[in-house]
């Protein structure tokens, strides 16, 4: 017969945005979120720039793709050589990224896409700052208790660690 034990289920929703209580906490939240989510913000700005350049500025799109590939290759190089003193200590990653940003901006200006570039920055930077102010990243992390999946994984690991019986 089935066990008449009832399980209590709770359903809770977490809203990852709220208004900071003071200007100081807003500034701290902006700095923290720009540090944690900078890659996502950069991808957002890059995507909007890419979409706005497609219809009329195909040469600018090529320049944007080239500098993006150079950036990806640089990060692959960093990942391939994690113990390199030259790549990690002498040449700062922030300096290289700033240099690539400047090169991208100059190439977009030279290909007559400066208006697109500055319009995209003017349109996306307020959105990024608004998200950085309102987003509470550290509060969204969910700490789950060991549930059914954790029990199954532990059993599987225990089975794998047991010496096989000789038959």
What's the pLDDT tens digit per position in 45-73? Answer: 888 988 888 888 888 888 888 888 888 88
Does 128 fall in a domain? yes
> What is the pTM for the complete model shown?
0.62
Does 1 fall in a domain? no
Alpha-carbon gap, residue 87 to 91, rounded angstroms:
5
Does 91 fall in a domain? yes
Digit-coded pLDDT (tens) for 134-166: 988 664 444 444 455 555 555 666 666 666 544
Residue in 134, 126, 129, 139 with CA at minimum distance from that of residue 21? 134
pLDDT of 112: 85
Does 12 fall in a domain? no
Does 10 fall in a domain? no
Work out how many domains the chain is built from and give that number: 1
Structure tokens at 64: 């944007």
Does 40 fall in a domain? yes
Q: Which domain holds residue 102?
A: 34-159
């Amino acid at each position: 017969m089935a066990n008449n034990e009832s399980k209590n289920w709770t359903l809770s929703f977490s809203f990852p945005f709220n208004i900071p209580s003071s200007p100081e906490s807003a500034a701290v939240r902006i700095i923290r979120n720009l540090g944690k989510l900078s890659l996502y913000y950069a991808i957002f700005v890059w995507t909007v720039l890419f979409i706005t350049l497609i219809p009329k500025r195909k040469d600018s799109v090529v320049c944007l793709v080239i500098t993006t590939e150079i950036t990806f290759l640089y990060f692959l190089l960093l990942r391939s050589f994690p113990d390199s003193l030259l790549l990690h200590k002498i040449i700062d990653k922030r300096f290289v990224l700033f240099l690539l940003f400047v090169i991208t901006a100059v190439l977009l200006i030279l290909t007559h896409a400066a208006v697109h570039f500055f319009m995209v920055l003017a349109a996306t930077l307020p959105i990024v700052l608004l998200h950085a102010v309102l987003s509470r990243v550290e509060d969204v992390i969910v700490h789950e208790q060991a549930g059914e999946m954790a029990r199954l994984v532990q059993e599987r690991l225990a089975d794998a660690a047991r010496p096989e019986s000789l038959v």
